[in-house]
């Protein structure tokens, strides 16, 4: 899967909203499919990983603490969460876990 940095000059945002209100990420003028990453400017560690399909959020979305530990992980389709949505503290302890159905409706809170 293609991985590019969020500041890649070939990555642009089509600001014309889709029918659900979000913009579309373009790479070389085409809807982007792959992962857009960013890095912490202070440490150089991975800060975010956002998965796209045809220019929209689709798949695993993750944010990291500056020490490299996972901060937040969830799965997104269009503008809603599906499946697990988890958060960790800076030491790597799971502090929140919620589940959503395939339509983005909250199902249950596990933690």
Full domain range(s) for residue 89: 3-109
pLDDT of 41 over the 80 cut: yes
CA distance 40 to 19: 33
**Total domains, the chain:** 1
* 15-19, 74-78, 97-101, range with greatest mean pLDDT: 97-101
Q: How does pLDDT run across 66-97, given as a tens digit for each residue?
A: 999 999 999 998 888 999 999 999 999 999 99
Q: Are strands 30-31 and 34-39 parallel, antiparallel or unpaired?
A: unpaired
CB 100 within 8 A of CB 88: no
């Amino acid at each position: 899967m293609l991985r590019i940095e969020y500041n890649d000059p070939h990555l642009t945002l089509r600001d014309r909203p889709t029918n659900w209100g979000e913009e579309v990420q373009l790479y070389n003028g085409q809807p982007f499919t792959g992962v857009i990453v960013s890095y912490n400017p202070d440490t150089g560690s991975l800060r975010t990983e956002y998965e796209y399909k045809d220019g929209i959020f689709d798949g695993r979305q993750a944010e990291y603490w500056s020490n490299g530990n996972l901060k937040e992980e969830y799965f997104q389709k269009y503008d809603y969460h599906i499946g697990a949505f988890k958060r960790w503290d800076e030491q790597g302890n799971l502090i929140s876990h919620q589940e959503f159905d395939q339509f983005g409706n909250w199902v249950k809170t596990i933690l």
